[in-house]
Amino acid sequence: MALKTLGAKAAAALDKELMSTGAFSIDQLMELAGLSVSQVVYRVHPIHKGHRVLVACGPGNNGGDGLVAARHLRQYGYQPTVYYPRRSKNDLYQRLAKQLEDLDVPFVEDFPEALKSTDHIVDALFGFSFSGEVREPFPAVIKALEETNLPVTSVDAPSSWNIEDGPPKTGLGSSFHPEYLISLTAPKPLVKYFKGRHFVGGRFVAPSIAKKYDFDIPEYQGIDQIVEVSPADEKL
C-alpha cells in the first residue's frame, strides 16, 4: 500500500479542521505530536547509545513539537538540551518552556558549540508551512546540520526543504539529509526525496477526516504513537 501524501495547503486545512470540527485544541495536537517525536528518538536512538539529545526548535508549531518532545525525553531518562533562539511570546510556548526549566533542561544559545557535546539531534526548526529563505539565526544551524556526522531526526520536514520539491537544488540545505524523519498526521510530498528511516505519527485522526483529505491512517500497534514506513510503502 503506497502511502498518500498531503501537500502544504491540505496539511494547513487539515490542522484547522482538527481544531474545529475535530474538536482538538492546539495544546492537545502539539502534545501528541511531541510525544510521537520522542517515541521515534527512543526507537532509533535508545538511551544506551547515548543519553544526550540536542533539540533545535524554531519559532512556530514545529518548534513547539520539539519542546514537548524534549520534556518526554527528559522523563524517559535522556538529558536533552534545547536550542530555542526565537522564543514565541505565545502563552502555550511559554508554558512549554517553563515545564522544561522546571525539569532543569538547559537552554543553549550556541548551536554549533552544543553539537560538540551531544549524541543525537532533533531538528524541529521548520515544518510544512516553511517557504522562502532561511532567516537568521538559522542559516548557521542548517549548515551545522549539513556538516555533522551525528544522527538527526527531523520533525515533519527536514528543515530548509521545500514541502513539495524536497531539498534545495543548490546552496544552504542542499546537502542536508537526516537519518530519520517523522511525518506528522500524514507524509508530505517531500518524502519521495528522503532516503532514511521514515515514521508516521498522528494517532488521533478520525477515519472520517482521513477520508475527507484522502489519506490512509497507518496501523498503529499496541500503545505506539508511531509506525515505521517501509521503503516498499514509499512508492508514491
- Known binding residues for K(+) are 62, 123, 159
Q: What angle do CA 92, 163, 22 make, to 5 degrees?
A: 45
Q: Which residues are annotated as a binding site?
A: 61-65, 123, 127-133, 156, 159
CB within 8 Å of 79: residues ≥ 6 apart? 51, 52, 53
Binding-site residue positions for (6S)-NADPHX = 61-65, 127-133, 156
**Helix, strand, coil content of the chain in percent (nearest 5):** 40, 15, 45
**Beta-carbon contacts of residue 12 (< 8 Å; ≥ 6 apart):** 128, 129
Distance of CA 158 to the CA centre of its chain: 8
The burial of 78, by beta-carbon neighbours within 10 Å (0-12 exposed, 13-18 middle, 19 or more buried), is given as buried
Q: What is the DSSP letter of 205?
A: -
Q: d(Cα 174, Cα 166) in Å, to the nearest integer?
A: 9
Whether the Cβ atoms of residue 153 and residue 37 lie closer than 8 Å to each other: yes
Distance CA 28, CA 125 (A): 20
The residue count for the chain: 236
